[in-house]
């Protein structure tokens, strides 16, 4: 059995609207980039909405052409016979607004000026991203979603969907998420921001696309990447090995972990816009499920569908304790909730590196989701 969705294409939906953001600003018109896998059934109720993490995109599975060496970011989860079985489900993934991967963001043209928004783009919250996704869902004629599933920032989107559109959502699966961003996570993003701000090529966001603040963005990404790993995974992958290309007593010589961070930072500069990185980082910092509610309890009382939560023992970015805080409150409210703490040494990235550890639980959960919201 061929378990790949094969050749896919990114589609774009345009909306001549002005979306009111949590900040009070209006953003529009909007473009939403998305990909779809599998077939929508006649009842339009077999939809799984996959939500991506910080620097992800709509390309979750398959390849764009035969020469692609790297498939979509969750290709091991989406396809015939996989956990998101495209013989059974219609799987949809859209790019969040604020990104640079096809949806409206800082690199988009501001209709008022005819030039890129850059820092005139309004600040966003995760809730705004979900409101934009709702435009796409309505556009596709979908009124019921089987499940919203996502990791990290994708988990935040899943929670927001269930709270703000409870009539549509039949289940959510937040993976490696949090109900509110911690001071430590905000501090790490602050370091990343300063790395960019201190790069003279940043020019307060007015850099030329062909000459981005590469050093600053690469360093910012390195800060973030460290938070995605764990001490155990770094020992396992790199240990204290010194780079074979350097002399150990060369003042500028580097350990293998340093070379790894350099490599990833350099690659990231080639594929992601600096201002988009900053806007999405700010949205992560601002995330609090209780925003505009009187309490966490009031917010979570709106979450009526079954929810399945996964946290990972070595995740120090969004710790198991942060997931537990939300789960405990849902249990206090007598909501249908299931929680699994997965043993893994791969830190925050565990949900991408070792999905086999939670796939059986996820498959069972999806099969038991009620047919109507």
**Per-residue model confidence (pLDDT) at position 1:** 40
Distance CA 307, CA 315 (A): 20
Question: What are the pLDDT tens digits along the chain (373 aa)?
Answer: 468 899 999 999 999 999 999 999 999 999 999 999 999 999 999 999 999 999 999 999 999 998 888 999 999 999 999 999 999 999 999 999 999 999 999 999 999 999 999 999 999 999 999 999 999 999 999 999 999 999 999 999 999 999 999 999 999 999 999 999 999 999 999 999 999 999 999 999 999 999 999 999 999 999 999 999 999 999 999 999 998 888 778 888 899 999 999 999 999 999 999 999 999 999 999 999 999 999 999 999 999 999 999 999 999 999 999 999 999 999 999 999 999 999 999 999 999 999 999 999 999 999 999 876 5
- Catalytic annotation, pick one of 52, 59, 146, 348: 348
Q: CB of 370 within 8 A of CB of 145?
A: no
Contacts of 125 (CB under 8 A, 6+ apart): 21, 22, 23, 283, 286, 287, 291
Peptide bond into 342 cis (omega under 30): no
Query: Would you give the DSSP letter of residue 80?
Result: T
DSSP H helices in 256-332: 256-271, 274-286, 296-300, 320-332
**Per-residue model confidence (pLDDT) at position 245:** 82
Residue 313, Cβ density class (10 Å: 0-12 exposed, 13-18 middle, ≥19 buried):
middle
**152 catalytic per annotation:** yes
Tokens standing for 371? 């047919």
- Match 């960019």 to its residue by tokens: 196
User: Comparing C-alpha atoms, which of 300, 58, 350, 302 is closest to residue 175?
Assistant: 350
- Catalytic annotation, pick one of 108, 152, 227, 314: 152
Distance CA 247, CA 241 (A): 12
Which residues make up each annotated binding site? 221, 349
Distance CA 28, CA 367 (A): 38
Rounded to 5°, the CA angle 52-60-35 comes to 100
**315 catalytic per annotation:** yes
**348 catalytic per annotation:** yes
**Per-residue model confidence (pLDDT) at position 373:** 56
- At residue 285, the 3 state secondary structure works out as helix
Which residues make up each annotated binding site for substrate? 221, 349
DSSP H helices in the chain: 126-139, 153-164, 183-197, 214-228, 231-237, 256-271, 274-286, 296-300, 320-332, 350-353, 359-367
- Catalytic annotation, pick one of 75, 273, 315, 345: 315
Domains, the chain, ranges and CATH? 11-181+288-368 (3.40.50.1820), 185-282 (1.10.1740.110)
């Amino acid at each position: 059995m061929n378990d790949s969705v094969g050749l896919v294409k990114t589609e774009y939906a345009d909306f001549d609207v002005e979306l009111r953001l949590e900040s009070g600003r209006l953003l529009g018109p909007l473009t939403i980039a998305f990909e779809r896998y599998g077939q929508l059934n006649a009842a339009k109720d077999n939809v799984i909405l996959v939500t991506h993490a910080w620097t992800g995109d709509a390309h979750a599975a398959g390849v764009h052409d035969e020469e692609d060496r790297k498939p979509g970011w969750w290709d091991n989860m989406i396809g015939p016979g996989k956990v998101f079985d495209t013989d059974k489900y219609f799987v949809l993934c859209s790019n969040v607004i604020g990104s640079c991967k096809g949806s409206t963001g800082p690199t988009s043209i501001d209709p008022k000026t005819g030039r890129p928004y850059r820092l005139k783009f309004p600040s966003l919250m995760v809730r705004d991203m979900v409101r934009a996704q709702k435009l796409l869902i309505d556009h596709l004629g979908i009124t019921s979603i089987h499940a919203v599933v996502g990791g990290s920032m994708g988990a935040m989107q899943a929670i927001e969907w269930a709270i703000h559109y409870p009539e549509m959502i039949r289940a959510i699966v937040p993976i490696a998420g949090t109900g509110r961003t911690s001071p430590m996570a905000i501090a790490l993003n602050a370091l990343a921001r300063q790395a960019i701000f201190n790069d003279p090529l940043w020019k307060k966001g007015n850099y030329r696309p062909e000459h981005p603040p590469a050093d600053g963005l690469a360093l910012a990404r390195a800060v973030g990447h460290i938070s995605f790993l764990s001490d155990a995974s770094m020992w396992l992958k790199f240990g204290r090995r010194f780079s074979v290309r350097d002399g150990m007593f060369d003042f500028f010589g580097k350990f293998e972990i340093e070379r790894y961070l350099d490599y990833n930072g350099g690659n990231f500069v080639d594929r992601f816009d600096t201002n988009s990185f900053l806007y999405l980082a700010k949205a992560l910092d601002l995330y609090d499920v209780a925003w505009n509610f009187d309490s966490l309890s009031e917010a979570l009382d709106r979450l009526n569908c079954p929810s399945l939560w996964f946290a990972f023992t070595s995740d120090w970015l969004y710790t198991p304790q942060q997931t537990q805080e939300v789960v405990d409150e849902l249990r206090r409210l007598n909501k249908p909730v299931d929680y699994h703490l997965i043993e893994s040494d791969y830190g925050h990235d565990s949900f991408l590196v070792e999905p086999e550890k939670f796939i059986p639980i996820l498959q069972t959960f999806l099969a038991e989701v009620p047919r109507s919201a």
